[in-house]
A and B are shown apart, each in its own frame.
Chain A
Amino acid sequence: MTRTEFWQGNTACAEGALAAGCTFFGGYPITPSTEVAELMAAKLPKKGGIFIQMEDEIASMASIIGASWTGARAMTATSGPGFSLMMENIGFAVMTETPCVVVNVQRGGPSTGQPTMSAQGDMMQVRFGSHGDIAIIALSPATVQEMFELTVKAFNHADKYRVPVFLMADETVGHMREKILVPDSVEKIGRKPFVPGNPPFKVTDPDLIPGFPTFGTGQHVHVTGLTHDERGYPAATNPPLHAALVKRLVDKIENARDEMADYDIVNPEAEQVFVAYGGPVRTVMQVMHDKKDKNVGFLRIRTVWPFPEKALLEFKNAKRFLVPEMNLGQIAREIERHVTVPVVPIPKLGGELHTPAELAAVLEEKA
């Protein structure tokens, strides 16, 4: 059963988190994400959960990692400047395999930039922003419905893969209001149970994911951001061990690339193919609707990282990939790595979506 609501994207995100069983939110106010925190502050205590406003985004990220080890589904929400502050502790969550969800309602950067305007400038930062070799999962919603559904999915991925998962929204989708169908309940995939007696970071399954030894269950697990062995003990000067650990942390995400791929394909026979995620998806949909041209294809991506490169190969006749983004061409560069035909970035800075006319004009350009 579902009910119909008319919600803002940020509301849908918070409601999605609550539906997914999030019981801990640690955050710091920042435009344009604040509504997520405000709603969690109002609703979590009534459900027996914890909302805490931390002193900064560094502390917010730290608090959700701490809460996650007690077994809680934990989350924070922020935007560009706060996201930058979170980078070090994001790496800690990757290294310690701590499930958590970070919402980034992107605004115009660099620096303080455009607090109330839309952007997608953090798509490379989310993938590579924390130091060292890491792999993470990033989902990008284009509708209020997806703000809800992908938040739920973010919690499930975080628990399943033991990694921070990012909801990379943008101000457009975060502040937009539209109809949403809210389900009575959602699917919840929990953490892999820990087998007592095993070393806490020992991997026995081909998915490379260890069971989660929740604090308080008598496992006496030592969790450290240092390079550690299967027991969780520091082994920072052991070269093969470090190499194997980092490789496993990356492989457990990259190997599940197909499993996590989430995209829609329209007109797979087309020669000109739009690729979009987040806010620009809406403009492409308008252009597709207006043109009704079988020769214009569309790849709509929801799981941006790990990047679903196989989806590109489904457009066998593609002569050009057209990539509208609210940045100077971040994912366009990723697409270039996977195809041999030209990739045309369609950057839009300034805080507003592309207009349909702007995208239609690119279609008319000679290849």
Chain B
Amino acid sequence: MSYDEWFRTDRLPHIYCAGCGNGTIINCTLAAVDQMGWKKEDTVFVSGIGCSSRAPGYILTDSLHTTHGRALAFATGVKMAKPAFNVVVFTGDGDLAAIGGNHFIHACRRNIDMTVVCMNNQIYGMTGGQGSPTTPLKCLSSTTPYGCAEPPFDLCELATAAGANYVARWTSYHVKELEKAVKVGLETPGFSFIEVLVQCPTAFGRRNKFRQVADHVEFLKSHSLLKAKRDRLIDQGQPVPEDMFVVGEITKRNRPAMGVKP
């Protein structure tokens, strides 16, 4: 399978660090986009600020690299003004959940027809490794030098509670599952949210005992708990391990949506 034609090859090389997982996520997203049969001129990629948000700059469509946290508000303007467009947003945990938190919940509430891929590396990578709203408790960052004291957001629970039609979580290890989830998100009318836990060796890994990239990816794999399995544990009255995160399709429903293609 080739989706090279979606890449803006004259922008290469990219700015991502060695071992970064963002490229994997861009790859999976474009693989899904390619299967949709969309025309490039009808497709707009939008982003805010941060490592995640550089992604649209490497994609050969119209693209809007906006201000920190505001990608969804810009994307709302694009999609409402032109519902025929396919709108895909790349964002990160800091961009989406901290400075952009309000836009996130309102985009979910409006259930506006777009697909949002959140590269959650649990840290501010581009500014050098500060704690984010998804930095796990006790983890080290340059602004949590004694361990993060704040409980993190569960972005998928947030998106579900706020009204998104489709919500899924995978990791940079689960490439096939991720590609499939993005495709379902692209196909689902309304707001689709796909959170991807991703390694950041430069800003997160080296401070948190993941000296090797593979160690971090292995951690993401071994600490993923399938939603079906989690539900089964709950049904059986068994404890759900606290150090694991739920992966899979979290929510799929058909709430009224805005900006759906005519």
A and B assemble together: yes
- B67 and A26 contacting across the interface, CB-CB below 8 Å: no
Q: Is the interface of B mostly helix, strand, loop or mixed?
A: helix
- A349 located at the interface, meaning its Cβ lies under 8 Å from any Cβ of chain B in the complex: no
Chain B nearest Cβ from A137, distance in angstroms: 21
- A245 located at the interface, meaning its Cβ lies under 8 Å from any Cβ of chain B in the complex: no
List B residues 90-138 near A (Cβ within 8 Å).
102-103, 106
Chain A nearest Cβ from B70, distance in angstroms: 5
Chain A nearest Cβ from B85, distance in angstroms: 7
- How many Å lie between the Cα of A224 and that of B80 in the bound state? 21
- How many Å lie between the Cα of A147 and that of B84 in the bound state? 34
Q: Which partner residue on chain B sits nearest A221 by CB separation?
A: B62
- A52 located at the interface, meaning its Cβ lies under 8 Å from any Cβ of chain B in the complex: yes
- A216 and B40 contacting across the interface, CB-CB below 8 Å: no
Chain B nearest Cβ from A335, distance in angstroms: 34
- When the two chains form the complex, which single residue of B67, B76, B81, B82 contacts A89, counting CB atoms closer than 8 Å? B67
- B65 and A225 contacting across the interface, CB-CB below 8 Å: yes
CB-CB under 8 A from B41, the residues of chain A are: 216-218, 220
- B8 located at the interface, meaning its Cβ lies under 8 Å from any Cβ of chain A in the complex: yes
List B residues 211-248 near A (Cβ within 8 Å).
none
- How many Å lie between the Cα of A275 and that of B2 in the bound state? 66
- How many Å lie between the Cα of A226 and that of B49 in the bound state? 10
- B67 and A88 contacting across the interface, CB-CB below 8 Å: yes
- A17 located at the interface, meaning its Cβ lies under 8 Å from any Cβ of chain B in the complex: no
- How many Å lie between the Cα of A216 and that of B74 in the bound state? 16
Chain A nearest Cβ from B138, distance in angstroms: 33
Chain A nearest Cβ from B252, distance in angstroms: 25
Chain B nearest Cβ from A193, distance in angstroms: 17
- B8 and A59 contacting across the interface, CB-CB below 8 Å: no
Per-position binary interface string of chain A over residues 56-77, scored 1 when its CB falls under 8 Å from any chain B CB and 0 otherwise? 1011101111111111101000
- A216 and B63 contacting across the interface, CB-CB below 8 Å: no
List A residues 287-301 near B (Cβ within 8 Å).
none
Per-position binary interface string of chain B over residues 26-47, scored 1 when its CB falls under 8 Å from any chain A CB and 0 otherwise? 0000000000000011101010
- A56 and B74 contacting across the interface, CB-CB below 8 Å: no
- A92 located at the interface, meaning its Cβ lies under 8 Å from any Cβ of chain B in the complex: yes
- How many Å lie between the Cα of A54 and that of B110 in the bound state? 10
- B8 and A58 contacting across the interface, CB-CB below 8 Å: no
Per-position binary interface string of chain A over residues 217-254, scored 1 when its CB falls under 8 Å from any chain B CB and 0 otherwise? 11111111110000101100000000000000000000
- How many Å lie between the Cα of A222 and that of B66 in the bound state? 11
CB-CB under 8 A from A134, the residues of chain B are: none
- When the two chains form the complex, which single residue of B44, B80, B102 contacts A215, counting CB atoms closer than 8 Å? B44
- A178 located at the interface, meaning its Cβ lies under 8 Å from any Cβ of chain B in the complex: no
Q: Interface residue count for A (Cβ, 8 Å)?
A: 41
- B190 located at the interface, meaning its Cβ lies under 8 Å from any Cβ of chain A in the complex: no
From B53-61, B165-173, B201-209, the one touching the partner chain is: B53-61
- How many Å lie between the Cα of A64 and that of B76 in the bound state? 9
Chain A nearest Cβ from B61, distance in angstroms: 6
- How many Å lie between the Cα of A184 and that of B82 in the bound state? 28
- A215 and B82 contacting across the interface, CB-CB below 8 Å: yes
Q: Which partner residue on chain B sits nearest A95 by CB separation?
A: B67
Q: A55-B103, A59-B76 are in contact. Are A69 and B66 (CB under 8 A)?
A: no
- A92 and B57 contacting across the interface, CB-CB below 8 Å: no
Q: Which partner residue on chain A sits nearest B70 by CB separation?
A: A62
CB-CB under 8 A from B57, the residues of chain A are: 222, 224, 233-234
- B85 and A65 contacting across the interface, CB-CB below 8 Å: no
- A50 located at the interface, meaning its Cβ lies under 8 Å from any Cβ of chain B in the complex: yes
Chain B nearest Cβ from A128, distance in angstroms: 19
CB-CB under 8 A from A68, the residues of chain B are: 77
Q: A89-B70, A222-B57 are in contact. Are A52 and B76 (CB under 8 A)?
A: yes
- A23 located at the interface, meaning its Cβ lies under 8 Å from any Cβ of chain B in the complex: yes
Q: A88-B67, A220-B60, A224-B65 are in contact. Are A64 and B102 (CB under 8 A)?
A: no
- A54 and B76 contacting across the interface, CB-CB below 8 Å: yes
Among B41, B56, B64, find the residue whose CB has the most chain A CB atoms closer than 10 A: B64
CB-CB under 8 A from B84, the residues of chain A are: 216
- B175 located at the interface, meaning its Cβ lies under 8 Å from any Cβ of chain A in the complex: no
- B80 and A63 contacting across the interface, CB-CB below 8 Å: yes
- B81 and A222 contacting across the interface, CB-CB below 8 Å: no
- A161 located at the interface, meaning its Cβ lies under 8 Å from any Cβ of chain B in the complex: no
Q: Which partner residue on chain B sits nearest A223 by CB separation?
A: B64
- B60 and A70 contacting across the interface, CB-CB below 8 Å: no
- How many Å lie between the Cα of A53 and that of B42 in the bound state? 25
- B73 located at the interface, meaning its Cβ lies under 8 Å from any Cβ of chain A in the complex: yes
- B77 and A67 contacting across the interface, CB-CB below 8 Å: yes
Among A24, A54, A66, find the residue whose CB has the most chain B CB atoms closer than 10 A: A66
- B77 and A222 contacting across the interface, CB-CB below 8 Å: no
What are 10 of the A-B contact pairs (CB < 8 Å)?
A54-B76, A63-B73, A63-B74, A68-B77, A72-B81, A89-B70, A220-B8, A220-B61, A222-B62, A224-B65
Question: B: which residues have CB within 8 A of A?
Answer: 8, 10-11, 40-42, 44, 46, 56-57, 60-67, 70, 73-82, 84-85, 102-103, 106
Additional A-B contact list (20), CB under 8 Å, known A24-B80, A62-B74: A50-B80, A55-B73, A55-B103, A56-B102, A59-B70, A59-B73, A59-B102, A59-B103, A62-B73, A64-B77, A65-B77, A66-B73, A88-B67, A89-B67, A220-B61, A222-B63, A225-B65, A225-B67, A226-B65, A233-B57
